[in-house]
Structure 1
Amino acid sequence: MDSFTQLQHLKPAEMRGRLTIQFSGEEGIDAGGLTREWYILLAREMFNPGNALFELSPSGDQSYQPFSNSSVNDHHLAYFKFIGRIVGKAVYDGHLMDAHFTRPFYKHMLGIPLNYEDMEAFDPDYHRNLAYMLEHPLAESGLDHLTMTATTMWFDVEETVDLVPDGANVPVTDENKLEYVNLVTAHKMTNAIKDQIGAFTEGFNDIVPHDVLAILNPSELELLISGTPEIDIEDLRAQTEYTGYTPASPQVRWFWDVVRDLNDEDRARLLMFCTGTSKVPLDGFKALQGISGPQRFQIHRAYGGGQRLCSAHTCFNQLDLPEYANKEELQERLLFAIREGSEGFGFG
């Protein structure tokens, strides 16, 4: 809400300018790292289903789509426009957002028409039912009672919506079932959230004009916004620089052994701890950004003994690695640092 209050009235040209972030009660100076954490924290709130703006797709792939009942949230369209601007600002500045949208939503952003096949990425079970309906006679599938209507839920209250004029009195037949399928999927993927889509897209295009995106397909737009989904440790290692250590140093060898064994969640935590984002740039780790442009991942020798935890400087993509006595000690302290100390900025 602080960010919304501060930024909602800025003109597009002002939003494209450089923002400097300061967190209340923290000492950190924004040389890039605080901005990256700001994007992370904003994404966490913007896509939090508890805020009734976005919801997780039924597909189970952890992708988001606008919540059709978001009007329960006062000024929800202003929030959608603001979120569109923030996502556009992240793209404009080369930051990655910690969120993935449904494939139909990316098509909406690009202005690409949807068809019923897009329902597969939106709700696979519902798509399967529609496909079965198209491939079999309605009487055989037990669907010969349908009419040209769709149901929507206003929380626990079911409402019926006509898909064509007087749709409740227009039966679905084998002759018009393709029309029904297209209309009902358009209702679910577009009409029920058209105001939210419009507000988000307006905000996004305030920062990134539509004609700039016209050359992209939905997959390319997803990569532009969210980065690649997998963290290639060997690519990260190949793009790493060392200060005070060499690639042959025992602590460095132990570090990479430990990192290779991390699960996907802890790999993302490590990347966030060191760089301020859990996503990988489109061109891999050679395209990591720092305070003044491209900045490779760095491991610096931290003096003072192995009692210290690892620390990081996200503005420089830098990990300070103490001289631990053995691999087990390094693993214990690294995991504690990335799991318990991945947020917040201060001087110490």
Structure 2
Amino acid sequence: MGNFWMCTLLAPFYKHILGVKVTYHDIEAVDPDYYKNLKWMLENDISELPDLTFSMDADEEKLILYEKNEVSDYELKPGGRNIRVTEETKHEYVDLVAEHRLSTAIRPQINSFLQGFNELISRDLISIFNDKELELLISGLPEIDVIDLKANTEYTGYTSASTVINWFWEVVKSFSKEDMARFLQFVTGTSKVPLEGFKALQGISGPQRLQIHKAYGAPERLPSAHTCFNQLDLPEYSSKEQLEDRLMLAIHEASEGFGFG
């Protein structure tokens, strides 16, 4: 279970502590490729996928449980292996997959943790927080060295000399301690800073420095993030003020799905 908790404790597990329902967006922290498949399903016509049913096969179950023993197919709802997923029911399918992968399949482990946690801290005391705020409450506001972060950032579509990138770092350097923590949460999924500094920042597959990619499309769109790749998709804004406005809005308001609609 080690790999699961390493990534999912950053968002879905804080939701479990608060009793908040997980969504398919949270799957990105566990399996980015699977998340992309689900996202593709929601954005495209799946009428040509006749073999997709409301069930998960044994191989998927083993991946979820991180065990090598044989398991049977799992039905996402009664009779699910005989119910085809259609264009009309695909949202239900995605919701059920998220609930199973992030909750049902690991329910005994979740319950064991929550039993101990709730003996120490009543849910009533933390119910006023969202999952991001709860992480900051439990972990505290980190000391973030912006110079170190900048030195360990890589660019795609931009360079370190790009005007937008210069604006970006000027804006980030002006952040309060709380907004810096929110920014780090937004891009990496956690406010924690590696003990060795940002050169040791981890992604889902190992060491992964902060990535800033040029986002194409409407210039007024919000920045978005791929947390398990520590990747920020940053549009080419027309002014520093616009960049600051869009980035602040993203880190404060677009936490659900980390900027994905």
User: Normalized against structure 1, the TM-score is what?
Assistant: 0.40
| Counterpart Cα distance in 1 of 2:185 and 2:30 | 13
Q: Partner residue of 2:55?
A: none
Q: Partner residue of 1:51?
A: 123
Unaligned runs of 5+ in 1: 1-14, 55-96, 101-225
SS of structure 2 residue aligned to 1:29:
helix
Compared with structure 1, are the counterparts of its residues 242 and 273 closer, same or farther at alpha carbon in structure 2 (3 Å cutoff)? same
Q: Partner residue of 2:91?
A: none
Q: Partner residue of 2:27?
A: 29
Query: Following superposition of structure 1 onto structure 2, how do residues 326-341 of structure 1 map, counting pairs within 5 Å?
Result: 326-341=239-254
| Counterpart Cα distance in 1 of 2:28 and 2:208 | 16
Question: Is 2:222 aligned against 1:309?
Answer: yes
Compared with structure 1, are the counterparts of its residues 326 and 263 closer, same or farther at alpha carbon in structure 2 (3 Å cutoff)? same
CA contact (8 A) 1:28 1:347 kept: no
User: Normalized against structure 2, the TM-score is what?
Assistant: 0.52
CA contact (8 A) 1:28 1:346 kept: no
CA-CA distance at 1:18 after TM superposition: 3.9
Q: Partner residue of 1:319?
A: 232
Q: Partner residue of 1:241?
A: 154
Query: Following superposition of structure 1 onto structure 2, how do residues 1-348 of structure 1 map, counting pairs within 5 Å?
Result: 15-16=1-2, 18=4, 24-32=22-30, 46=117, 50-51=122-123, 98=136, 229-344=142-257, 348=261
CA contact (8 A) 1:295 1:316 kept: yes
| Counterpart Cα distance in 2 of 1:237 and 1:244 | 17
CA contact (8 A) 1:275 1:318 kept: yes
| Counterpart Cα distance in 2 of 1:313 and 1:332 | 20
What residue identity is the alignment partner of 1:286?
Answer: K
| Counterpart Cα distance in 1 of 2:237 and 2:260 | 23
SS of structure 1 residue aligned to 2:256:
coil
1:46-86 CA distance string (max 9 Å, x none): 589553799xxxxxxxxxxxxxxxxxxxxxxxxxxxxxxxx
Unaligned runs of 5+ in 2: 13-20, 33-101, 104-112, 127-134
CA contact (8 A) 2:222 2:259 kept: no
Q: Partner residue of 1:161?
A: none
Compared with structure 1, are the counterparts of its residues 346 and 288 closer, same or farther at alpha carbon in structure 2 (3 Å cutoff)? same
| Counterpart Cα distance in 1 of 2:256 and 2:25 | 13
CA-CA distance at 1:306 after TM superposition: 1.3
SS of structure 2 residue aligned to 1:277:
coil
SS of structure 1 residue aligned to 2:24:
coil
Q: Partner residue of 2:49?
A: none
CA-CA distance at 1:342 after TM superposition: 2.0
CA contact (8 A) 2:208 2:230 kept: yes
Q: Percent identity?
A: 57
Count the aligned residue pairs: 161
SS of structure 2 residue aligned to 1:319:
strand
| Root mean square deviation of aligned Cα | 3.6
SS of structure 2 residue aligned to 1:344:
helix
Larger Rg: 1
Compared with structure 1, are the counterparts of its residues 282 and 340 closer, same or farther at alpha carbon in structure 2 (3 Å cutoff)? same
CA contact (8 A) 1:28 1:345 kept: no
| Counterpart Cα distance in 1 of 2:251 and 2:259 | 16
